Structure 1
Amino acid sequence: MHEHLRVIVADDNPVVRAGLTALLSGREDIDVAAQAADGREACEAAVRHRPDVILLDVRMPGVDGIAALPHLVRIAPVLMTTYSRESDIVHEALRLGACGYLVHGEFTADQLVDAVRDAKLGRPHFTHTASNALLATVRDGYAPATPHRASSSATRKAFAGTPSQQQADMAHSLLSQREGEVMDLIASGMTNQQIAATCFISQKTVKNHINRIFAKLNAASRGQAIAIWHGLSPTQGGPTHG
């Protein structure tokens, strides 16, 4: 038996709202407590009904989903359900606290229901376009260096430049391609849970990657690792939580 869940569906398209509501209402453990046509209505409904999970579209008139997201995540887990598949939007939604990102046409009714149930438990879900968009963002900003350690002579040539650039280049040369991808996701502000979902690996595997990254970079925290990765001073490295 699953825990009974109350859900709010926010989308400006009444056909989409009705469709999502019908898919969810057919399950004994899920009730759609309210529908909303924009971010403002979603916030008002969330305050009034105190749902367990909120389904939220991105593009809506007035207050859109991205603008409403920081307010909604304080009330309940938010699962993005949208046609918007641009990588910057996917990334921004996750940065603002969304627990998953489902692109319409890429999930079945059962997958939607599983995503809603898991959202309540803090388990993220992504459809393939959202996952690919996140990985594309990482790869566009990361030119893989020679995997693992370069020879000492090659290293000396590669690190000709400013001290900060030398530090960043050295960091990139020490990590494998997968570790580099994980490090980029860390630098983007993602949690271990979000990294696991993006890379289709377990959180335990993410932790193993991070432990190896910290060892190779001689870093004691995420913030220090980010500073080394980008050739910044330690005070510029961002969050220092583990």
Structure 2
Amino acid sequence: MTDKPISVLVADDNAIVRMGIRALLDQFDGIHVVGEAWDGDHAVEMVRRLQPTVTLLDVRMPRRDGVAAAEVISASTKVVMLTYSDSPDVVRSAIRAGACGYLVHGAFEPADVEAAVRGAARGVGTLSPAAVVALAQEEQRSQVRTDHDLSAREVEVMTLIAQGRSNRQIATELFLSEKTVKNHINRIFAKLGVTGRAQAVSWWLGATEDA
């Protein structure tokens, strides 16, 4: 008796990328691409209709990005992010949204995609080096978060503030509204007992160096 084929949905707003991934996966025995989606909303619709074993998601897509889509579909399909974005914040957001794998274009071989799909089908995650680094950074910062009562999201916001990002840039990178970012910043300042960005950054750099 043969194993049941692994059904795969490919979601990417670039048709050429979708065609390339489909052609790649069609070479492997036991893996069958059952559909393609061109944005996050379409991916959610296709997952509900086709019930694929594994869904490969790009991060940057119209209407609904891949991280937001993962939050909806990860309960019913194994999600592997397959994207050009190697931002540590995006990696962490994707993993928290339920993705079990994260591969960055240009940093993997065709066999890695096959391994990621087969691994995801078995419940085993596959992470690119960029994803591993991002999760390691999160672990290093956990002590800072515990000591100073910052939430995981507040740590992400404070990290970007320290990197010189504006509220609008932070909102874009973390897929939040500018109003939500401002609310996070106000809470951070209150918890740290500071009145502005400069004081917050000064505290943050000292705290993360000591952690």
**TM-score of Structure 1 vs Structure 2, range by shorter chain:** 0.5 to 0.7
In structure 2, runs of 5+ residues without a counterpart are: 153-211
Q: How does 1:114-125 map to 2 (within 5 A)?
A: 114-125=115-126
**Separation in structure 1 between the aligned mates of residue 100 and residue 139 of structure 2, nearest angstrom:** 19
Q: How many residues get paired?
A: 148
SS in 2 for 1:125: coil
**Moved segments of 4+, more than 6 Å:** none
Q: Which residue does the alignment assign to 1:135?
A: 136
Q: How does 1:11-22 map to 2 (within 5 A)?
A: 11-22=12-23
SS in 2 for 1:16: helix
**Separation in structure 2 between the aligned mates of residue 74 and residue 128 of structure 1, nearest angstrom:** 25
1:138, CA displacement in angstroms? 3.1
Residues 1:57 and 2:58 are matched in the alignment: yes
TM-score, scaled to structure 2: 0.65
1:37, CA displacement in angstroms? 0.7
Q: Which residue does the alignment assign to 1:97?
A: 98
**Separation in structure 1 between the aligned mates of residue 112 and residue 65 of structure 2, nearest angstrom:** 25
**Separation in structure 2 between the aligned mates of residue 3 and residue 128 of structure 1, nearest angstrom:** 31
**Separation in structure 1 between the aligned mates of residue 72 and residue 137 of structure 2, nearest angstrom:** 28
Q: How does 1:1-242 map to 2 (within 5 A)?
A: 3-139=4-140, 142=143
SS in 2 for 1:126: coil
Once the two structures are superposed, residues 191-239 of structure 1 have per-residue CA deviations (whole angstroms, 9 ceiling, x without a partner) of xxxxxxxxxxxxxxxxxxxxxxxxxxxxxxxxxxxxxxxxxxxxxxxxx
TM-score, scaled to structure 1: 0.57
In structure 1, runs of 5+ residues without a counterpart are: 144-163, 169-186, 189-242
Select the structure of larger CA radius of gyration.
Answer: 1
1:16, CA displacement in angstroms? 1.1
SS in 2 for 1:80: strand
Query: Does the CA-based 8 Å contact 2:68-2:97 persist in structure 1?
Result: no
**Separation in structure 1 between the aligned mates of residue 77 and residue 62 of structure 2, nearest angstrom:** 22
Query: Does the CA-based 8 Å contact 2:57-2:81 persist in structure 1?
Result: yes
Aligned residue type for 1:40: D
Q: Which residue does the alignment assign to 2:190?
A: none
Aligned residue type for 2:97: L
1:123, CA displacement in angstroms? 0.4
Work out the percentage of aligned pairs sharing the same amino acid: 41
SS in 1 for 2:10: strand
